[in-house]
Amino acid sequence: MIDPASALAVAALIGLAAAVVFLPGRGLYPRWQYLHRMTERILLEDAVKHLYNYEYRNQTPTVESLSGALQIQGGRAAQLLIRLESSGLTKTAEEGPRLTQLGRENALRILRVHRLWERHLAEETGIGDGDWHREAELREHDLSPDEVDRLSEAMGDPVYDPHGDPIPTATGDIAPRQGRPLSVLHEGERATIVHIEDEPEDVYARLSEQGLYLGLPIQVTEVSDEHVRFMAEGHMIDLPPTMAGNVFVTPLSSQQEMEGPYETLHDLASRERGRVVRISPACRGLERRRLMDLGVIPGTVIEMETRSPGGDPTAYRIRGALIALRRKSSEHIMIARDVKETKEIKE
């Protein structure tokens, strides 16, 4: 038997090895990712995608914008633009480099892979939404056309990725982006979120922390130079106007009712019960399937047993079994305190 001191030493060595391999920015794995992305073919594909995104937003790409997007020196970015033009992928216009038809076809091919892969990560894996874009960036250059078609078919040929961006078809057709910025709505307007910009990453992370997701109904209550305030599922959310501009919405039908407010499973105290109303659409992929496999479906009555000394995880009694759930999972489970249902359980 290993004594506690030796076990701690082993754990420390494992932690050190993990840091050497995975330390963000300086570990061996991030360095391998960086070198992988520095190959000429990948840089060229990233460059046409960058130019397409700028054209899509009616912006003019520059050497500086390309350098920043690809994290390369300005000189190398300039060389890439020369290479793109000599390959027939771009042409020089008065306002700057513009994609040719061939360049646009290449950009749409890369975007198709990227957005399909993001959809796959969202629906079929347990990877968090903050990592979808980064993982898709690594995989978008590796799949063959046949593999991409099979991936799309397996998911039912989706039209939009999990952020609401349109997914190009195999023939290069692409649906229009939906909605208008949340920042332009007026007080009292109701809408549904249909697109959330996933770049810059830090802004997307803050939006995700607010619990925003596609399909979420919202109602604007106040608009000022300092913030856009709106109601979502019974909770008030404040966003700076610049962040609200990264959230796109479409009008909510006057017949549709605003949802909430809901309590979550995490709100229960010891020995309290709640009836599951639904699992938040923000919970996707393997985590959603895991909760459903555990019996967390609408109508299930769950009792909170005890919370760990550190506050996380919490033990819940679900269909007779004691299950530990992390706070992030329990906050995705919307409940109602249904007295009738509780009495039936007691009986």
Domain final position from 67, 83, 99: 99
Q: What are the two backbone dihedrals, phi and then psi, of residue 23, each rounded to the nearest 5 degrees?
A: -50, 120
Residues 268 and 339 in one domain: yes
pLDDT of residue 16: 47
Residues 90, 46 within the same domain: yes
Instruction: Indicate the residue among 251, 275, 303 that finishes a domain.
Output: 251
What CATH number does the domain containing 83 carry? 1.10.10.10
Kindly report, residue by residue over 289-335, the tens digit of the pLDDT.
999 999 999 999 999 999 988 888 999 999 999 999 999 899 999 99
Which residues touch 305 (CB under 8 Å, ≥6 apart)?
270, 271, 314, 315, 316, 317, 322
Residue 11 lies in a domain: no
Residue 28 pLDDT greater than 70, yes or no = no
User: Do 246 and 212 belong to one domain?
Assistant: yes
Tokens of 308: 């760990």
Per the listing, tokens 């208008």 go with 180
The more confident residue out of 33 and 53 is: 53
pLDDT tens per residue across span 181-215 = 999 999 999 999 999 998 888 899 999 888 899 98
pLDDT category of residue 221 using cuts at 50, 70 and 90: very high
Same domain, 247 and 267: no
224 with 280, same domain: the answer is no
Same domain, 326 and 287: yes
Question: Do 245 and 278 share a structural domain?
Answer: no
Residue 323 is assigned to a structural domain of this protein? yes
CATH code, 300? 2.30.30.90
Residue where a domain terminates, one of 195, 228, 251: 251
Determine the structural domain holding residue 44 and report its residue range. 37-99
Round to whole Å and give the CA distance between 303 and 283. Answer: 21
Is 5 inside any structural domain?
Answer: no
DSSP strand pairing (247-251 vs 180-181):
antiparallel
Query: For residue 294, is it within any domain?
Result: yes
Give the three-state DSSP class for 303: strand
If one counts the domains in the chain, the total is: 3
Instruction: With H, G, I as helix, E, B as strand and everything else as coil, classify residue 301.
Output: strand
The answer to the question of residue 161 being in a domain is no
- Contact, 163 vs 111, CB < 8 A? no
Decide if 244 is inside a domain: yes
Same domain flag for 288 and 225: no
Instruction: Check: CB of residue 62 under 8 Å from CB of residue 77.
Output: no
* Separation between Cα atoms, residue 263 and residue 332, nearest integer Å: 10
Is the separation of the CB atoms in 178 and 250 below 8 Å?
A: yes
282/212 same-domain check: no
Distance, CA of 304 to CA of 295 (rounded, Å): 15
Residues 189 and 243 reside in one and the same domain: yes
Write out the two tokens for 48.
């046409």
**126-171, pLDDT tens digit by residue?**
888 888 988 998 888 888 899 999 999 999 999 999 999 999 999 9
Same domain, 228 and 289: no
Same domain? 56 vs 81: yes
Q: Is residue 122 part of a domain?
A: no
> Does residue 233 fall inside a structural domain?
yes
Which amino acid is residue 177, in one-letter code?
R
> Among all chains, which residue has been given the structure tokens 């390369």?
72
pTM: 0.76
Is the pLDDT at 56 greater than 70, yes or no?
yes
